[in-house]
Copies of this chain bind each other. A is one copy, B any other.
């Protein structure tokens, strides 16, 4: 690996000062067009690329952002990450990806490490830290977009971006009610998850408004993956065999529920209707195809990155965004 050429090398080769090269490279005024061209030619020829570390030290701008997700393997976050990365690429930013694995210690480590690296901004999904810690962390970064978490007192350099879970869950329940279901169960996600709480709330309020009672026996918690959805469904259907519809916390859980129904000989959608949440690619792959609340996750990622850049550049920007999910009716309900 041969030594990188530096501004000084270019300056020497061109017979000008460092600053002239710097100005030429950064398209700043103070260099004649002719000279600029010949410097850029030299830059090309010598394969020079500015050292972003040195530039970062001088300007306190690193052109990099951090992205914290629970698990990049989960299609939900994979799609978001993809959107974020696309948005970053378009604006010549780089993305540090960090998984928290639902582990608060690792989450704090991630934040510390991103802060040490002086990222210009942070996209933080499903923050699990306590409120006080959250506010402390937010204060450390120049710009933050919080996904899947709300903030009662807005901060000028922070935007929250949430899916309208309450409305989504209500739409799902309405749809099931419209199909004649009267024993609608809800497979909830982890209780610490904000979206789980909101979806539960939407589920319950929709039932109440329809004049149905909320029955705790129809609610079952599980981890947000297929295997847990399967197990939880077995428990649920054993407890309440009269269930005629299941709203699942997300698509992975819904798929687990579908498999459990099949294992129990209960056909979907004939005897049990199932609705998921998120519309991950899997939803259209399984049979029957999953009716679910569609959210354009990749677009959310791009929106998040866009908003982050706006904050960083001081562009006016809402303090919160709410994304409306859309019910995609397919075969499972």
Taking Cβ atoms with an 8 Å cutoff, the residues of A that contact B are: 1-2, 49-54, 56-57, 62, 64, 67, 71-73, 75, 78-79, 81-82, 85-86, 89, 92, 94-99, 106, 109-110, 112-118, 139-142, 157, 226, 255, 259, 262, 281-282, 285-287, 298
Contact = CB atoms under 8 A, between A and B. Distances in A.
A113 B94 contact: yes
B64 A1 contact: no
A157 B78 CA distance: 31
A89 to B, nearest CB: 7
Contact of A64 (B51, B117, B141, B142): B117
B1 A142 contact: yes
A87 to B, nearest CB: 11
Contacts of A57: 51, 53-54, 57
A99 B118 CA distance: 22
A133 to B, nearest CB: 13
Contacts of A106: 89
Contacts of A49: 112, 115-116
Nearest to A56: B53
Given A97-B97, A259-B285, A282-B282, 10 more contacts: A1-B142, A1-B157, A49-B116, A52-B116, A72-B81, A75-B75, A81-B97, A96-B96, A255-B285, A287-B287
Contacts of A73: 75, 78-79, 81-82, 298
Contact of A72 (B72, B98, B115): B72
A97 B92 CA distance: 13
A25 to B, nearest CB: 12
B99 A86 contact: yes
A97 B95 CA distance: 6
Contact of A71 (B1, B82, B110): B82
Nearest to A226: B285
A116 B139 CA distance: 29
A1 B89 contact: no
Residue of A49, A73, A115, A140 contacting most chain B CB atoms (<10 Å): A73
Given A73-B78, A118-B53, A113 B92 contact: yes
Contacts of A157: 1
Top 7 closest pairs, chain A to chain B, by CB: A97-B97, A53-B56, A52-B116, A73-B82, A73-B78, A52-B117, A49-B116
Nearest to A230: B285
Contacts of A86: 99
Given A86-B99, A95-B97, A62 B72 contact: no
Contact of A285 (B51, B116, B282): B282
A99 B72 contact: no
